[in-house]
Chains A and B, each alone.
Chain A
């Protein structure tokens, strides 16, 4: 079956602009996670959804970052007023409990 998909695969934006990153989890997976991978910080947890609720938002680095999930399926991660330090690969994963299946990521470059 289809895996986790993310779009866009690459995004280049100017500093100060807002960006939206999309994640389509595996059908039926109730849990959805966002992580980011950067050279300096490695792989960092951002936020976790169970259904449409986010019981753990502890990894969001600032209030410029927000995420939502609708219909227990698609999730959008929004970064407002992007900064150069936001440049990273943003990874989404979904799960039914246990193994998390990762998408290919969105590479965000802030110029």
Chain B
């Protein structure tokens, strides 16, 4: 069965510092992996996705993530945090293009001035 574990329900970083949000997954088949962002009182927006091919995936707003099969990880990074990055971030896994998405519990990112 698929599952996603996000380490840290809350993460705080200073403005301008590196953002690192950790995600580990389990899947019985080659996974499709996603990061979604949810701003306060808004819907889910896709940041980036990995399906096949290049393991370093670039997304919107300067975020990127690297698929590491050996570590079953898909950590999200951004070199320099902005105040506008404050939101909740969800890592997710799917078995294929039409399969349901299994979400992690989410990590709330706080940006300190």
| Chain A residues with a Cβ under 8 A of chain B | 31, 33, 35, 42-45, 48, 50, 56, 58-59, 91, 93, 95, 97-105
Contact = CB atoms under 8 A, between A and B. Distances in A.
B51 A98 contact: yes
Contact of A59 (B36, B100, B106): B100
A102 B100 contact: no
Contacts, number: 48
Given A98-B49, A98-B97, A99-B49, A45 B43 contact: no
B49 A104 contact: no
Interface of B: 32, 36, 42-46, 49, 51, 90, 97-106
Contacts of A104: 42-43
A100 B44 CA distance: 10
Nearest to B49: A99
Contacts of B102: 45
B101 A100 contact: yes
Instruction: Give the interface SS of chain A, mostly helix, strand, loop or mixed.
Output: strand
A103 B43 contact: yes
Contacts of A58: 100
Contacts of B44: 91, 93, 102
